[in-house]
Chains A and B, each alone.
Chain A
Amino acid sequence: MSGHGLNMSSRDLMSIRRKACIAGAYEHPTREAPDKTVAQLHAECARGALEDAGLRLEDVDGYFCAGDAPGLGANNMADYLGLRPRHVDTTDTGGSAYLVHVSHAAQAIAMGKCNVALITLAGRPRSEGSSGVAPRLVGAGTPDVPWEAPYAPVTVNMYALAAARHMYEYGTTSEQLAWIKVAAATHAQHNPNAMLRDQVTVDDVLASPMISDPLRRLDCCVVSDGGGALLVVRPEIAHSLKRPIVNVLGAGEAIKGQLNGQVDLTFSGAAWSGPRAFGEAGVKPSDIQYASIYDSFTITVLMQIEDLGFCEKGKGGRFVADGNLISGVGKLPFNTDGGGLCNNHPANRGGITKVIEAVRQLRGETHAKVQVPNCNLALAQGTGGLLGSRHGSATLIMERA
């Protein structure tokens, strides 16, 4: 029926704007956990988020997890954690799933389906020898696999194809992409838990080995063990706690694929999820003071920045250059924890850490060297799956009340 023109804006309809708060946020400090199970890491993250919020396990009545959680959907982990949820959601859009979970948790809270929603992510890809140049595991019967597997798509080349086309269309350069890594590394110096804490230069990035043209090793995120957890709660509950209030203002989600064979690698799903989130939040890109931008690879950041409207399409290369993403230096401070490029990419899924750092910024709890002064409005953006074939995009806008 949508083809028949239902022309209501999201503001006319029921919205999640200020209907829920992020009251707990916890990033596991480990980056290598050979002696812990994935389930244990989930539990440690849940405990950390509950302690952060000042809530108890028995307060949790909603549970959200995705494909990194062992077992059948939420069944096994909810049981393992001792939860008795009355609302569950196992939406999986790859690494962006946890941003979708925040939105869906806010919807559930607005509808009275739960009061305290726990979201957990954890994984051990580092200990298990995961790599961006290994074939990705996919379920039997995945319909696109027979048509693509013989060509050896791996994670990095399915981002490289988008980077190559962006360079062809818009003249984007490897030096410009390198600036994204330089900004992340500048921030990571101040994060004692970051996996990579050394400052790097544009020349260091360009001197690193070519993995899949035009992406070099330092254009790629880290492979780290760890995890994170979030608590999304009813506003009355958030106001009863001792933590700063972080409201969910708006969210958007989208899945972008190969467009039935009309492949267009010049944009990501953020071009669709972004406007939905800005529309619901009632703000515009120039209002955003801090942005967590999914950084599986440098090109992922550049394309999402364009697609979210922080700059004109095709001008992302110029926008990210010369330190424009460095906190205290540039116009758009991004990934002040060091991001996936330097800090952490647990379970090969960077979504939850994007939300966690945005919450830290809104609370004013990041390192003084990277804290955005009076940070009241932040965005988190995720792209999960493969930029060059099919991915789930999620945009989340949050405010400090």
Chain B
Amino acid sequence: MTTMYQDRPLGSAVHDPATEPFFAATAIGSLRVKICVSCRKPHWYPRPLCPYCLGDAEWSDVTGKGEIYSVSVTRRAGPTPYAIAYVRLDEGITMLSNIVDCDLDSLRIGQRVHVVFKPAENGTMIPMFAPGPG
């Protein structure tokens, strides 16, 4: 079976004080996570305060490379099938995302992926992942 990736409408991204610096970075092709200035642990999803110790957290760019932790092709939630996945970044945090630009039926847990960016309806660039080393 082959299910080639197709673009689907992503809706409008939420811009608020928590997301603004993140989307400023994705606009220039960077993926960043939060790291605590006190305990130095990274976390996801990004919060202003570290969820390990409630210390202040600062942005830190990551490579955008990782592997698929889990993946599911959702086939009946609308006209376009899509692959929802957890991607474990090489920096050690795991984020919910979509896998794109491939045959969705070929995706496997453990597969290497790299970050790509897809536009939401308001032009915000949303990080997603595609197979391969990038």
Residues of A within 8 A of B (CB): 133-134, 143-154, 156-157, 160-165, 168, 209-215, 258, 260-263, 265, 388-389
Taking the closest CB of chain B, its distance from the CB of A216, in whole angstroms, is 10
List residues of chain A with CB within 8 A of the CB of B85: 161
List residues of chain A with CB within 8 A of the CB of B41: 260
List residues of chain B with CB within 8 A of the CB of A213: 71-73, 75
Task: Report whether A149 and B52 are in contact in the complex, using a CB–CB cutoff of 8 Å.
Answer: no
Task: Report whether B76 and A212 are in contact in the complex, using a CB–CB cutoff of 8 Å.
Answer: yes
List residues of chain A with CB within 8 A of the CB of B97: 151
B102 at the binding interface (Cβ < 8 Å): no
Residues of B within 8 A of A (CB): 8, 10-11, 13-14, 16, 18-19, 33, 41-47, 51-52, 69-78, 82, 84-86, 88, 92-98, 109-110, 120, 126, 128
Task: Report whether A153 and B96 are in contact in the complex, using a CB–CB cutoff of 8 Å.
Answer: yes
Task: Report whether A161 and B75 are in contact in the complex, using a CB–CB cutoff of 8 Å.
Answer: no
Assembly CA distance A152 to B80 (angstroms) = 11
Taking the closest CB of chain A, its distance from the CB of B117, in whole angstroms, is 11
List residues of chain B with CB within 8 A of the CB of A154: 74, 77
Task: Report whether B13 and A152 are in contact in the complex, using a CB–CB cutoff of 8 Å.
Answer: no
Assembly CA distance A161 to B72 (angstroms) = 6
Task: Report whether B42 and A151 are in contact in the complex, using a CB–CB cutoff of 8 Å.
Answer: no
Q: Which of B52, B70, B97 has the most CB of A within 10 A?
A: B70
Which residue in A157, A168, A209 is a CB contact (below 8 Å) of B77? A157
Assembly CA distance A176 to B78 (angstroms) = 28
List residues of chain A with CB within 8 A of the CB of B94: 258, 261-263
Assembly CA distance A153 to B11 (angstroms) = 13
The 10 closest A-B pairs by CB, nearest first: A261-B44, A261-B93, A146-B14, A160-B72, A133-B77, A147-B45, A263-B94, A165-B70, A212-B74, A260-B43
Residue of A nearest to B110 (CB): A168
Assembly CA distance A18 to B49 (angstroms) = 42
List residues of chain A with CB within 8 A of the CB of B18: 143, 146
Residue of A nearest to B77 (CB): A133
List residues of chain B with CB within 8 A of the CB of A209: 75-76
Taking the closest CB of chain A, its distance from the CB of B86, in whole angstroms, is 5
Task: Report whether A263 and B75 are in contact in the complex, using a CB–CB cutoff of 8 Å.
Answer: no
Task: Report whether A168 and B70 are in contact in the complex, using a CB–CB cutoff of 8 Å.
Answer: yes
Task: Report whether A134 and B77 are in contact in the complex, using a CB–CB cutoff of 8 Å.
Answer: yes
Task: Report whether B70 and A157 are in contact in the complex, using a CB–CB cutoff of 8 Å.
Answer: no
Task: Report whether B77 and A146 are in contact in the complex, using a CB–CB cutoff of 8 Å.
Answer: no
Task: Report whether A152 and B96 are in contact in the complex, using a CB–CB cutoff of 8 Å.
Answer: no
Taking the closest CB of chain A, its distance from the CB of B89, in whole angstroms, is 9
Taking the closest CB of chain B, its distance from the CB of A391, in whole angstroms, is 15
Asked if A152 meets B82 with Cβ closer than 8 Å, knowing A146-B14, A260-B51, A261-B94, the reply is yes
Assembly CA distance A33 to B83 (angstroms) = 36
List residues of chain A with CB within 8 A of the CB of B51: 260
